Structure 1
Amino acid sequence: MTHASETAVRAGAAPRRSLLSRMGDTPIPWVLPLALILIAVFLYPIIEIVRLGFTDADLVGTDYEYTIGSYTSLFTAPSFANMLTVTALFVGFSVAFQMLLGFAIALMLDQGTKRNLRGTVITRTAVLSAWAIPGVIIGVIWSLLYAEGETGILNYFLTFVGVDDPIAFLSNPTNALIAVTVANIWRGTAFSMIFIYAGLQTFPQDVIEAAKMDGAGAVNRLFRVVIPILLPVLLVNMIVIIVDTFNTFDMVMAMTGGGPGRSTEVIALSIYNQIFNNFDLGSGAATATLLLVINVALTVVYFRFLEKGKEAKKA
């Protein structure tokens, strides 16, 4: 043993640890498997979708060339404006009524719970059941409700109020878009109700009592106290359901398949039809990239609201 090593041993110096040993004291071994899974099932497919959007690939052949033709044909196609219009109407009305109905139901449940009224648990369970049912099943259920033949449940009940001719719920373009939107509102109201009801449970009751002492009526308390305080919750809820509605595919596919014509073809369903019905992988990937950009933009807005909410709480 050399003089330097003897000095180190006497001084109690710890032996040099290996790289693996030092990594064991860090979160890397725990985070690395998750990171690899995310890269394999999330990041890599996104990169591939963006790459294929710049090609003329299809599902039949294996040869393709890199080109911007997929984006050119997407933005210049006559169906592009119709797809955006249908998606905007579908998302706009769905989000508006999901927010309104979810807020109304959450407010009634909150007031019913405070007054110890019976049936609040049953109401919550009934509303939650709509959220728990898969979208394909919801599409099948509402297709049975909207059926135009003798089995059509809604048309059957309409005969009791004097409507003899069956209404073309799903074969008329305008009616089909309204019918799909109504089904999506019924499906998504539950999430808004849960979100807003959770916000109401953390609502400061002393503020309400102070408003009552100042003589504010129920309507004034709602619009001048409750809604302003719940505004961060409402905004986050709105962004989340906008993202969810933009990506709605299964329910619309089960109900109409995008028809009649393309009257109910939202962006997510258009991606499916382009790739698996028209075998146009390049155009489908370009449309998917467009939807990805929309989702990323909405996600950035979502995190901005979260940061503002945290700053407001600190203040």
Structure 2
Amino acid sequence: MATTANPASRTRPPRPRAARPAAPPGASAWPWLLPLGSVLLLVLVYPVVEIVRLSFTDASLVSGEPYSVTAQTYTSLLAGTDFRHTLQVTFLFVLVSVVFQLLLGLAAALLIHAAERRGLRGVVATRAIVLTAWAIPGVIIGVIWSLLYQETGAGVLNHGLSLLGFSGNIPFLSDPDNALVSVIVANVWRGTALSMILCYAGIKTVPEHVYEAARIDGASAVQTLFRVTLPMMLPILTTNLVLATVETFNSFDMVLSLTGGGPGTATQVLALDVYDQIFRQLNLGRGAAMAVVLMAVNILVIALYVRLNEREEKQT
């Protein structure tokens, strides 16, 4: 019995793609880049050049006298004990914050990945809740933690400690030593979210068959972590380290709303000191010099990151 072929099953020849129109002779991409380049020059390059120029002056809006070009600003800045104290507070704040952000973010990512592999519920909701801490603006985070740190019986933390049997209210923000620790805790809570997301993305890049091979070879969970997971997600960890360091060096909004740099200068980080010098004390020269120092630190961290990436690419 003869069968008729189905017309729909016949293969149709591919349609030829329309050829792209050739660019006219003498065409250039510069007219399309000029608007973006103009915006970058206006909002990025010009402010940086102006800050560097002001850093070599003694400009001030308080004196009302014409400023003069001088390098005395940097000399007095480096020789002053207040600036050295600010640098000490800043580096301690950055070091402790970044270390705990990376460790807690990695631990949270490992727990979420393990729960996902076991098919547990609530993994997506947990990721969304943790990410919320990163999405909240720093000023609001400072206000929230200031409510938690209230030094009366109505404070959330002090009330909780009283229920556990601790007597007396802990001066979280009025004591200089406790204030810096309290600010670091709030900043770690804020930065752990981004660290968790980056570490989770790095864990997902490890192929599943690598874990299967490690399991067949008899590797324990700790051996798999240190010999498989961490080495394979090393580029992500490096990126995480740089982003956390740069963000922590430039954080001032949370500290501003939480302690304002106090008590005294116990929590006066460098970015907050720049803000204080320029917008409160109206000392443009000194504030600009501090901003240049902060910018130099950021450039140094980014240059180190680029150098490490180039070395890894050469090795691979």
Tell me the amino acid that sits aligned with residue 112 of structure 1: A
Preserved CA contact (<8 Å) 1:23 1:29: no
Q: Secondary structure at the match of 1:43?
A: helix
Q: 2:226: which partner in 1?
A: 223
Cα offset, 1:119, TM superposition: 1.3
Q: Are 1:158 and 2:174 counterparts?
A: no
TM-score (norm 2): 0.89
Q: Per-residue displacement from partner, 1:39-62 (whole Å, max 9, x unpaired)?
A: 100000000000000000012326
Q: Relative to structure 1, is the Cα distance of residues 199 and 268 closer, same or farther in structure 2, using a 3 angstrom cutoff?
A: same
Q: 1:59: which partner in 2?
A: 61
Cα offset, 1:151, TM superposition: 3.0
Unaligned 5+ segments in structure 1 are 1-20
Preserved CA contact (<8 Å) 1:246 1:268: yes
Task: Determine the C-alpha separation between the residues in 2 that align with 1:270 and 1:246.
Answer: 12
Preserved CA contact (<8 Å) 2:205 2:233: no
Task: Determine the C-alpha separation between the residues in 1 that align with 2:311 and 2:120.
Answer: 37
Q: Relative to structure 1, is the Cα distance of residues 261 and 108 closer, same or farther in structure 2, using a 3 angstrom cutoff?
A: same
1:72 paired residue among 53, 71, 75: 75
Q: Per-residue displacement from partner, 1:26-85 (whole Å, max 9, x unpaired)?
A: 221221111111110000000000000000001232610001111111111111221111
Q: Which 10-residue stretch deviates more, 59-68 or 268-277?
A: 59-68
Q: Are 1:109 and 2:102 counterparts?
A: no
More helix by share: 1
Task: Determine the C-alpha separation between the residues in 2 that align with 1:153 and 1:74.
Answer: 41
Preserved CA contact (<8 Å) 2:142 2:258: yes
Q: Are 1:186 and 2:189 counterparts?
A: yes
Q: Relative to structure 1, is the Cα distance of residues 145 and 310 closer, same or farther in structure 2, using a 3 angstrom cutoff?
A: same
Q: Secondary structure at the match of 1:190?
A: helix
Tell me the amino acid that sits aligned with residue 131 of structure 1: W
1:294 paired residue among 277, 294, 297: 297
Q: 2:38: which partner in 1?
A: 36
Q: 2:49: which partner in 1?
A: 47
Task: Determine the C-alpha separation between the residues in 2 that align with 1:310 and 1:119.
Answer: 38
Q: Secondary structure at the match of 1:265?
A: coil
Preserved CA contact (<8 Å) 2:242 2:301: yes
TM-score (norm 1): 0.89
Cα RMSD after superposing both structures: 1.6
Q: Which 10-residue stretch deviates more, 296-305 or 280-289?
A: 296-305
Q: 1:17: which partner in 2?
A: none
Q: 2:203: which partner in 1?
A: 200
Cα offset, 1:174, TM superposition: 0.6
Preserved CA contact (<8 Å) 1:236 1:306: no
How many percent identity over aligned positions?
52
